[in-house]
């Protein structure tokens, strides 16, 4: 079994083929046969992606019933006033559906000092960084959740999947998960 962590750059697809889109893919960064992403980050999102050849692990990490927490740092435009944060934490109904997100943890955090991304972010008003901890992953969920409370998402960086984080992993690089980390992940 092989499991790796990858710090996905902005603009990269979370798959090994571009299907004619012309966008960079995981194949441009990772030359490990037989591994697949356990969950996804959309092309505009950055950060931690776990890849493995362990099918049951992929299912556990991708299925909301597995309750594996994912941590995101989210740059939003707008004022993250307490009422908005409480609404986010309680769960919001996603636009165009009747689906209510599960409760999550959310708080304002200081600027994490990330390197600027390849396509600069240009806000038109006040901005703030939020840390959001979710136990589910609907398509573009973080963006839809912040929009539901009047905050426009400018940048998303996933910093952790369960107990595993980006620590020491530069953008565009990957490494194997250690035995000790696998034990933590299986317990978490």
Which positions are annotated as active-site residues? 42
Separation of first and last alpha carbons in the chain? 19
Residues 1 and 52: beta-carbon distance below 8 Å: yes
Measure the CA–CA gap between 45 and 11, rounded to whole angstroms: 7
Residue 57: both structure tokens together:
């692990």
Nearest to 78 by CA among 148, 160, 159: 148
Residues 100 and 152: beta-carbon distance below 8 Å: no
């Amino acid at each position: 079994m092989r499991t790796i962590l990858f710090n996905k750059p902005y603009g990269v697809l979370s798959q090994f083929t571009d299907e004619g889109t012309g966008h960079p893919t995981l194949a441009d960064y990772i030359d490990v046969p037989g591994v697949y992403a356990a969950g996804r980050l959309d092309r505009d999102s950055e950060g931690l992606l776990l890849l493995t050849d362990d099918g049951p692990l992929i299912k556990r990490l991708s299925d909301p019933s597995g309750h594996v927490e994912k941590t995101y740092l989210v740059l939003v435009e707008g004022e993250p006033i307490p009422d908005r944060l409480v609404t986010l934490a309680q769960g919001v109904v996603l636009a165009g559906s009747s689906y209510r997100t599960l409760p999550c943890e959310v708080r304002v955090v200081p600027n994490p000092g990330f390197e600027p991304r390849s396509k600069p972010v240009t806000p038109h008003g006040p901005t703030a960084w939020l840390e959001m901890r979710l136990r589910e992953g609907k398509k573009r969920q973080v963006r839809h959740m912040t929009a539901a409370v009047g905050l426009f998402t400018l940048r998303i960086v996933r910093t952790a999947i369960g107990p595993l984080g980006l620590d020491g992993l530069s953008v565009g690089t990957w490494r194997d998960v250690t035995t000790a980390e696998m034990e933590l992940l299986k317990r978490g």
